[in-house]
Amino acid sequence: QKEVEQDPGPLSVPEGAIVSLNCTYSNSAFQYFMWYRQYSRKGPELLMYTYSSGNKEDGRFTAQVDKSSKYISLFIRDSQPSDSATYLCAMSEGYGGSQGNLIFGKGTKLSVKP
Amino acid sequence: EAGVTQSPTHLIKTRGQQVTLRCSPISGHTSVYWYQQALGLGLQFLLWYDEGEERNRGNFPPRFSGRQFPNYSSELNVNALELEDSALYLCASSFYRTAYNEQFFGPGTRLTVL
């Protein structure tokens, strides 16, 4: 079992749709959860981060973490063609953990059609 | 504020050659991470440097090596290049002592091995 599983898609939705992106993980030591957006041939851009369980909202984006189920989600409301990108979930144990690096999912490719 | 910078942007090498990639972190960041993003494999952690020391290493052969300089910039060296080393090499930086250890990525160096 991989540490982080993410459905690679591709996911195609019409403009204005609500998009749900998800990741599952196996390492219960993960405490910090992040979502990155990566446009084609560019480096990943940090979109949102959350600590432990709970929700966090930022504009059209909502991140949810359910540590009991080892499941995280990113919701995009009123999706726009400019949201078309690959979305990567990433996790870490955080400062003091055994690893400083992030563990990434493989990414979900999202296409928002006008 | 300048982001993470990487050079060169593109490289074409042949099998058996050696390559050096460079990364300059965001000002104030002391940690540098190197990731490999090969087609279909997602981001794979290579190396983590903090305060000039190698802190962690991913599951890559010893021909992948690097270092961090006193100004926190970093080099990634790959010896005896193989075809499967063709990938986007991403550098990220963070100030590790913050709880979230948010990592910010550069645009990457695209390496093609022929």
Residue type at position B32 = V
pLDDT band at residue A51 under the 50/70/90 scheme: confident
pLDDT at B82: 97
| pLDDT at residue B100 is higher than 70 | no
Residues of chain A with C-beta less than 8 angstroms from the C-beta of B88:
41
Residues of chain B with C-beta less than 8 angstroms from the C-beta of A102:
33, 43, 45, 92, 103
Q: Tokens at residue B35, please?
A: 């990731």
Q: CA nearest A44: which of B88, B101, B29?
A: B88
Is the Cβ of B55 closer than 8 Å to some Cβ of chain A? yes
Residues B29-82 have pLDDT tens digits of: 999 999 999 987 889 999 999 889 998 899 999 999 999 999 999 999 999 999
pLDDT at B68: 97
pLDDT at A96: 52
Q: Which chain A residue shows the shortest CA-CA distance from B107? A: A43
Q: Tokens at residue B87, please?
A: 């990938």
Q: Which chain B residue shows the shortest CA-CA distance from A5? A: B42
Q: Which chain B residue shows the shortest CA-CA distance from A6? A: B42
| pLDDT at residue A1 is higher than 80 | no
| pLDDT at residue A4 is higher than 70 | yes
B5 and B23 Cβ atoms separated by less than 8 Å? yes
Chain A residues 54-113 within an 8 A CB cutoff of chain B: 88, 90, 92, 94-95, 99-107
CB contact (8 A) between residue B96 and residue A42: no
Q: Tokens at residue B114, please?
A: 């022929």
- How far apart (Å, rounded) are the C-alpha atoms in residues A60 and B76? 37
pLDDT at A54: 84
Q: Tokens at residue A15, please?
A: 């403009």
Q: Which residues pair with B57 in a beta bridge?
A: B47
Mean pLDDT computed over A30-40: 92
| Residue pairs spanning A and B at CB distance below 8 A | 71
Residues of chain B with C-beta less than 8 angstroms from the C-beta of A45:
105
Higher-confidence position of A7 and A110: A110
Q: Which residues pair with A73 in a beta bridge?
A: A22, A64
